[in-house]
Amino acid sequence: MKQLEGKTALVTGGSRGIGAAIAQRLAREGAQVALTYKASPEKAAGVVKAIEAQNGRAIAIEADSADPRAMVNAVETTVRELGRLDVLVNNAGIGVYKDISEFTVNDFDAIVAVNIRAVFMAVTSALPHLKSGSRIITIGSCQAERMPGPGGALYAMSKSALVGFTKGIARDLGPKGITANLVHPGPVDTDMNPANGPAADFQRSLMAVDTFGTGDEVAAMVVYLAGPESRYITGAGFLIDGGTNI
Ligand SMILES: NC(=O)c1ccc[n+]([C@@H]2O[C@H](COP(=O)([O-])OP(=O)(O)OC[C@H]3O[C@@H](n4cnc5c(N)ncnc54)[C@H](OP(=O)(O)O)[C@@H]3O)[C@@H](O)[C@H]2O)c1
């Protein structure tokens, strides 16, 4: 039997990149998967098709993470269409890099809305549906704790906020048998951070290994945290960053 047979997962930002890999890997382990998207409906439909081609069940839900009502709707649609919710993966995120003197209040609000408030909205909307054994997994960043260069103040702020939030909810939800953990990727080859992009050589210079990670490698860690063997892990953060800045 697959380790997530009978479970349902919701992955925010599952149309591309790390989220698409997580959605497919959770499905391969037997979970039904709902994935959200904003700008990439065709890519979201492609992920659903790929899961269905492996005899899995998946749905794509349009939900802008910056809109609190859309997050509530994404959770409600998941439960209505797929019958339950056991694993919430908060993956959707944006990176805005500028010198601190150039950031505007609109930049601040945008990054807080998607990277922090949407996580709060998804968690609080999901709670009434999460039974003992459920999992909350949030994608942070190695920059939550270490900032190797200029321009990332707001991004790093948003990801470190998730550390405090995750520790807090781990305390609140532990007695209910629900765990909450973070996965902190380093450089992963996606549209957000291509391995041939302008900042790639600088990032490689910080790493102990010589190559960017893949979405599938991050997804493997998420699957472990989603599965039954991780019951005793909560409030924790896991680096998967090729030894960046060790
Ligand atoms: N790649 C890295 O090196 C790296 C490193 C550390 C942490 N991370 C984190 O990993 C997560 C995924 O990153 P990625 O590299 O896969 O990014 P990506 O390639 O840019 O993909 C982002 C995903 O999030 C979705 N998304 C973005 N804004 C959204 C919004 N407002 N509402 C709903 N969905 C939204 C996108 O969907 P649409 O296209 O449909 O809008 C897409 O599916 C993020 O939280 C990021 O901060 C990435």
List 179's β-bridge partners, or say none: 135
| Catalytic positions | 155
Nearest protein Cα to ligand 1, atom 45: 93
Given a contact cutoff of 8 angstroms between Cβ atoms, the answer to whether 26 and 87 are in contact is yes
Going by CA atoms, what residue is nearest to atom 46 of ligand 1? 93
pLDDT of residue 44: 99
Task: Report how far apart the first and last C-alpha atoms of the chain are (Å, whole number).
Answer: 38
* Ligand 1 atom nearest residue 41's Cα: 40
pLDDT tens profile 186-231: 999 999 999 999 999 999 999 999 999 999 999 999 999 999 999 9
Instruction: Classify 12 in phi/psi space as left (phi over 0), alpha (psi -120 to 50) or beta.
Output: beta
- Give the pLDDT confidence score for residue 204 in this predicted structure: 97
CATH assignment of 8-240, among 3.40.47.10, 3.40.640.10, 3.40.50.720, 3.40.50.300: 3.40.50.720
Interhelix angle 153-173/118-126, nearest 10 degrees: 20
Q: Is the predicted pLDDT of residue 246 greater than 90, yes or no?
A: no
Query: Per residue in 7-33, pLDDT tens?
Result: 999 999 999 999 999 999 999 999 999
Q: Ligand 1 centre from 11 Cα, in Å?
A: 11
User: In whole numbers, what is the pLDDT of the chain averaged over residues?
Assistant: 98
Q: How far is the CA of 40 from the centre of ligand 1 (A)?
A: 11
Domain boundaries, the chain: 8-240
18 in contact with ligand 1, CB cutoff 6 A: yes
Q: For residue range 145-165, what is the model confidence (pLDDT) as tens digits?
A: 999 999 999 999 999 999 999
User: Is the entire prediction scored with pTM above 0.75?
Assistant: yes
- Condensed to tens digits (0 to 9), the pLDDT of residues 109-122 reads 999 999 999 999 99
The band of 1, judged by pLDDT with boundaries at 50, 70 and 90, is: confident
- Residue 149: predicted pLDDT: 93
Query: Which of 143, 183, 190 has the most ligand 1 atoms within 8 A of CB, as the residue to mutate?
Result: 190
141 close to ligand 1 (CB < 6 Angstrom): yes
Instruction: Work out the average pLDDT over 178-183.
Output: 98
